A and B are shown apart, each in its own frame.
Chain A
Amino acid sequence: MASVRIKNLKKFYGSVKAVDGVDLEIKDQEFVVLLGPSGCGKTTTLRCIAGLESPASGEVYFGDRMVNALAPADRNIAMVFQFFALYPHLNAMDNISFPLRAQGVPAQKVKEKIDWVSNLLGLETILKRKVQTLPGGDQQKVALARAIVRSPAVLLLDEPLSQLDEKFREEMRSELGRIQKSLQVTTIYVTHDQREAMALADRIVLMKDGKILQSGSPRDIYDNPGSVFAGYFIGSPGMNFAKCVLDGNRLLFGDGQRALQLPGDLATLLNEKGKRNLIIGIRPEHISFSATQRESVSSLKIKVTTVEKFSQFEIFSFRLSEELFLGRVREEVPEGAEGYVYFLPDRLRLFDAETERSLF
């Protein structure tokens, strides 16, 4: 059991600032996901925590103990990588027991541990199989079993699902969530896949260009993205955005031909901020469509470009100020139709067009 604290962590590769001043506190038993596009510094941060990289500056603490000077082997961590780092010629059991035997754990104890972990992960039937004959999902389970069999204080996972088939990936994702919750081990998980982050994290730490952009529960970041990037990156499809200009209690789009009436309190709040050039953000499920204009609700006239029909909902697209917008609705929307879209007023998010940061 351990909490992890990182203070002003920096790591440079030549002129590239891979990690550029990261501060992060991870509570005991917390499942934290470092999320971001490639090159955002998430893996380097993880590797600094593991001790596989030495930071240019900054400190890493496990509990109250600074571990900067400790070798990976002395940090009581376990790490699972994107590529299954297993011994292909050994069977699953020997792979899992390897770290225990290396530590000189007595045979009886090793057996108990193996029974425990194979029961937890459902590996009973494959223990005797050579790992190279196993499908990718099972290989990654073996790698995970080997990581947790030592009961590490901190579990570090670097894109552990990205090499798996789509189908396996979803299964393993659920498994991983269940296992972490039963083990109650502090877990730091790195991924570029926002679905994994949303599904697994107690807390998502969104990174970009070596810095932390935002940190919060999946629901929190999803509902209140702190920046245009966060809204775009989290959610599938992501948040829709368009540039607009604040004009009294209206937002004007494009050449000013189209306007959206704002609720009074929101308009007041925005005017107080004194910014006129804004970016509006709205999630697909907060957009609705109707062929005729409803009274007393502000709408925008649009033309439906495409419709994707799924079993429980449809995704329709339209353009607003040249931007592609997607709406997610339950009722049928005809492709090519002209009509009106409505944005749920309390779900409207507004960003400063210059900084692309949320205005509230």
Chain B
Amino acid sequence: MLELEGITKRFGDITAVNQLSIEVSAGEIFVLLGPTGAGKTTTLRIAAGLETPDEGRVILDGRDVTKMPPSYRDVAMIFEAHNLYPIYNVYDNIAFPLRAPGRQLPDKEIKEKISKVAVDLHISHLLDREITTLSGGEIQRAALARTLVRTPRIYLMDEPLSNLDLKLREELRVEFRELHRRYGATMLYVTHDFVSAVSIGNRIGILDRGKLHQVGTPDELHQDPRTVTVAALMESPPMNFMPCQMAEGSLLVDREAKMIFPLPEGQWSKAREKAEDGEVVLGVWPEDIKIGILEGERAFQGLIVGKEFQGANTLVNLSVGKTILKTLGDPGFQGEFGRPCRFYFPFEKIYLFDKRNGERIYF
């Protein structure tokens, strides 16, 4: 459907996008997730034809469109900041792309299309209103309606929900999925918000400093992150990282704090072989750490330095020497600030990364 092949884009000395290749299939929502400055918007603008790449090709439905202007590509783009015309009412704003030169649909057809999209986005009652009288959520719905009223080959979405407050974002996220099911559209969606990415995306590409780290379903990325960057972006809460050394038969996290994690013998030698200078980063997801009263000798001890009630669970921060670990407890977790707390995570749940380049060490 949409293929980006080896795309590189430089602005002066800065390489915004570096040898990026992705393929968005028909009917799919592909999400590019990355922090500010990752190159997400640049990639999207290249797909739209608003930027020309220095290297690489943009292929849409089998045709090389790299050098074609936006209007020939038949794509629809929606931006973070809405671009509705304040002088028109909602109806005329939505009708705008349908009345554009080259399209100019008959009024009757425009009306039908708008009524349908207005029902889907729950804005039928707002069609006569001026843009300036709408709330933030209503504006975003109107902007979305204007994009969805057309049926382009692909929708390009640049953080369409990020300007909304949390509550509205939650509602619109779900509606967004509903709409996608109904319209079956192909979308390339960029965001820095992990929750949006996971909830909206069929597949996610992790982008950081212009480089695509990994592509996969949310599940794949969570279970098998190939770099520290990927694991750090699959947050909420993010993976715990502990820099450590490979000492005989174990991972030495903090000698003073007695945080030494033993590895099964065969596994240790395998890992040691791959970690060149023995400097590694131990990673473990918060939900894989058991806390509280634990039987058995292998538990570690930390101090409770934070406790955040989150409704369905409690986020508990434990300090061990210089490290602070995020863990998840029950909603009714009773531990108090400053008190000791035992914790443990099994060998099967750990991840090792090479400290020098952040790459995963498989062992």
Please list the residues of chain A having a beta carbon within 8 angstroms of any beta carbon in chain B.
37, 165-167, 170, 173-174, 177-178, 181, 192-195, 198-200, 218-219, 222, 232-233, 235-238, 283-285, 305-306, 308-313, 315, 317, 324, 326, 328, 335-336
Q: Mark interface residues in B312-341 (1 if CB within 8 Å of A CB, else 0).
A: 100101000000101000011000011000
Check A219 against B166 for contact (C-beta < 8 Å): no
**Interface size counted on chain B using CB atoms at 8 A:** 43
Check A198 against B235 for contact (C-beta < 8 Å): no
Q: Of B170, B219, B337, which one neighbours A181 at CB under 8 angstroms?
A: B337
Check A285 against B311 for contact (C-beta < 8 Å): yes
- Interface membership of B237, Cβ < 8 A: yes
The answer for the CA separation of A199 and B326 in the assembled complex, in Å, is 13
Check A193 against B222 for contact (C-beta < 8 Å): no
Check A219 against B309 for contact (C-beta < 8 Å): yes
* Across the A-B interface, the 3 shortest Cβ-Cβ residue pairs: A199-B308, A308-B199, A306-B177
The answer for the CA separation of A310 and B313 in the assembled complex, in Å, is 15
Check B311 against A235 for contact (C-beta < 8 Å): yes
Check B178 against A311 for contact (C-beta < 8 Å): no
Given A174-B317, A306-B177, A308-B174, residue A222 in contact with residue B309 (CB < 8 A): yes
Check B166 against A222 for contact (C-beta < 8 Å): no
Smallest CB separation, A302 vs chain B (Å): 14
Q: Chain B contacts of A200 at CB under 8 A?
A: 308
Please list the residues of chain B having a beta carbon within 8 angstroms of any beta carbon in chain A.
35-36, 165-167, 170-171, 173-175, 177-178, 181, 192-193, 198-199, 218-219, 222, 234-238, 285, 287, 305-312, 315, 317, 324, 326, 331-332, 337-338
The answer for the CA separation of A284 and B331 in the assembled complex, in Å, is 14
Q: Of A37, A199, A285, which one neighbours B309 at CB under 8 angstroms?
A: A199
User: Which of A37, A167, A193, A328 is most buried by chain B, counting CB atoms within 10 A of its CB?
Assistant: A167
Given A166-B192, A166-B193, A308-B198, residue A177 in contact with residue B308 (CB < 8 A): yes
Check B308 against A311 for contact (C-beta < 8 Å): no
Given A199-B310, A222-B309, residue A306 in contact with residue B36 (CB < 8 A): no
Binding site secondary structure of chain A:
mixed
The answer for the CA separation of A359 and B74 in the assembled complex, in Å, is 55
The answer for the CA separation of A188 and B326 in the assembled complex, in Å, is 25
The answer for the CA separation of A173 and B235 in the assembled complex, in Å, is 15
The answer for the CA separation of A37 and B164 in the assembled complex, in Å, is 13
Q: Chain A contacts of B171 at CB under 8 A?
A: 324
Q: Which residue of A lies closest to B162 (CB)?
A: A166
Given A166-B193, A315-B199, residue A305 in contact with residue B166 (CB < 8 A): no
The answer for the CA separation of A324 and B175 in the assembled complex, in Å, is 9
The answer for the CA separation of A336 and B184 in the assembled complex, in Å, is 14
Q: Chain B contacts of A236 at CB under 8 A?
A: 166, 170, 310-311
Given A177-B308, A306-B178, residue A238 in contact with residue B167 (CB < 8 A): yes
